[in-house]
Amino acid sequence: MNFDFKSIKTKYFYTGLSLFTFFVAMQLTNWLPLRYWGIWGGGDFIDSQQILRWSQCYKIQNDSIFLSYGECSGFIYGSTLVRIISLFNVNPSNVQIFGHSLLLLLAFTISRQVGNFDKLRANPLILFVVLSPPILLLAERANFDILMLALISSSGSLFAKNHHSWALVPLALATLFKFYTLPLFLLYFLLNRSKKSKAITLFTGVAVSVRVILDLMLIQNSFPSGSWAMFGVSIWTRYLADLNMLEQDEATALVSGSIIFLLAFAVTVILLKRLDISFTSRDISDERTRVLFYLFYGTHLSCFCLGMNYDYRLVFFMLSSIIYLYSFVSKREKGYIVVLVSTLLSVWFTYPVPRLSPIGDLTTEIMTVILGIRCVQLLKLDLKKNAF
């Protein structure tokens, strides 16, 4: 296999290197913006450090890390994650090397979607999306969602090159690490054209689902709740619960949040029609772009509907929005301004202006609807082609 290194550099190498350099500079200055906003984690990659600590506990205590009590408890992800880290014997003392490796991975994964400097000069406001608080928080904590992002991106690239079976490997690994990518198996099942590929996808999805269910049965710790640093379908009922206006439980949050989201969907569609903003269903020839859009948006939607939706997981929403702005709408159309402004409001009203965070949550819901409409339109075109 021959690699055109010059072409790779032109496309994203220098963007990735620049972004990694920025992250390292932030680490050396103890992440000044995050300290100013009051969400600094101490500059020691605390999320990675915790996962590495859990992996050490797993070697000694095994499944007891899923308990809700004890010195080494509270683990709420897939057991495959701590098993693999334990196998490689990575411990908390290696956190700086491990954390900087994740920063490098994050920088180059994002750069693949952002493109080269010429592309950024043509769309300079994209930088305000890429360097927004959720991305900085994801990097500062070296959260394992960085690895999830890289695995999903790798899976999409393999699928777009017709390596359908190989694409299941990183997707399965991601799902065994954290559960929210499980619905993406259904997407691959629908997009696969051959019966053999569909059968392999179905078998892999079922096998992964069994492991996910077994891990969920082990978890005794309650999933996080509350409105701080969260987004998603249940956010409004969480706000009401914080104001003691509603007694919150998971069922109430899900039902009430779903009703509110349906109302937001209806209002968004009506406003788009009134403002004469059309989102056409024209085909996008680049299959990699379409597949990655499906995967990033599908992951965002999964997180949006679940309780484990911390704001740094807005990275999937951001990348699907960037793909939308680059590939699905012209800068001359009204839709471009709507998507760009809504994305910026979503990601910048999270931490710097916490009292205005409901505005960010509202625009996140609006954008979830807009991106969803485009996703359904493209998916219908792909499924129609698969039918022949």
Q: How far apart are CA 52 and CA 49, in angstroms?
A: 5
Residues 244 and 321 in one domain: yes
Report pLDDT for 388: 45
For residue 366, name the pLDDT band (cuts at 50, 70, 90). confident
Helix ranges (DSSP H) in the chain:
5-8, 14-28, 32-37, 46-61, 79-87, 95-114, 117-122, 126-130, 133-141, 145-160, 164-177, 184-191, 195-218, 235-242, 250-274, 287-305, 314-323, 334-348, 357-386
Average pLDDT over residues 330-335: 80
Burial class of residue 322 (count of CB atoms within 10 Å of its CB; 0-12, 13-18, 19+)? buried
Least confidently predicted of 36-45, 184-193, 194-203, 286-295: 36-45
Residues 31 and 178 in one domain: yes
Residues 188 and 249 in one domain: no
Residues 230 and 349 in one domain: yes
Least confidently predicted of 89-93, 122-126, 170-174: 89-93
Report pLDDT for 5: 47
Does residue 285 contact residue 272 with C-beta atoms inside 8 Å?
Answer: no
Residues 364 and 217 in one domain: no
Residues 195 and 256 in one domain: no
Helix axes of 145-160 and 164-177: crossing angle, nearest 10 degrees: 170
Report pLDDT for 191: 92
- In 3D space, the residue among 152, 138, 154, 82 whose CA is nearest the CA of residue 106 turns out to be 138
Residues 167 and 59 in one domain: yes
Amino acid symbol at 148: M
Q: How far apart are CA 136 and CA 129, in angstroms?
A: 11
- The DSSP annotation for 193-251 comes to -SHHHHHHHHHHHHHHHHHHHHHHHH--SPPP-SSTTB-STTHHHHHHHHTTSS---HH
Report pLDDT for 234: 73
Enclosing H/E stretch for 41 = none
Q: How far apart are CA 359 and CA 354, in angstroms?
A: 10
Query: What DSSP designation does 349 have?
Result: S
Average pLDDT over residues 247-252: 59
The CB-side HSE value for 114 (13 A sphere, CA atoms) comes to 29
- The DSSP annotation for 285-330 comes to --HHHHHHHHHHHHHHHHHHHSS--BGGGHHHHHHHHHHIIIIIS-
- Which range of residues forms the domain containing residue 235? 225-388
- In 3D space, the residue among 137, 177, 149 whose CA is nearest the CA of residue 45 turns out to be 137
Terminal alpha carbon distance of the chain: 32
Residues 22 and 127 in one domain: yes
Report pLDDT for 227: 57
Percent over 90 (pLDDT), the chain: 45
Average pLDDT over residues 226-239: 72
Does residue 361 contact residue 234 with C-beta atoms inside 8 Å?
Answer: no
pLDDT > 80? residue 325: yes
Residues 190 and 253 in one domain: no
Residues 216 and 244 in one domain: no
Amino acid symbol at 85: I
Residues 212 and 256 in one domain: no
Query: Per the structure block, which two tokens stand in for 162?
Result: 């017709």
CA angle, residues 197, 203, 204, in degrees to nearest 5: 90
> What total of structural domains would you count in the chain?
2
Q: How far apart are CA 364 and CA 362, in angstroms?
A: 5
Does residue 231 contact residue 196 with C-beta atoms inside 8 Å?
Answer: no
Report pLDDT for 277: 64
pLDDT > 70? residue 276: no
Residues 248 and 336 in one domain: yes
* Residue that finishes a domain, picked among 221, 236, 259: 221
* Residue that finishes a domain, picked among 221, 241, 267: 221
Least confidently predicted of 50-59, 62-71, 234-243, 369-378: 234-243
Buried b (16+ CB within 10 A) or exposed e, 21-35: ebbeebbeeebebbe
* Residue that finishes a domain, picked among 160, 191, 221: 221
Does residue 364 contact residue 317 with C-beta atoms inside 8 Å?
Answer: yes
Q: How far apart are CA 386 and CA 351, in angstroms?
A: 44
Backbone angles phi, psi at 286, to 5 degrees: -75, 110
Amino acid symbol at 104: L
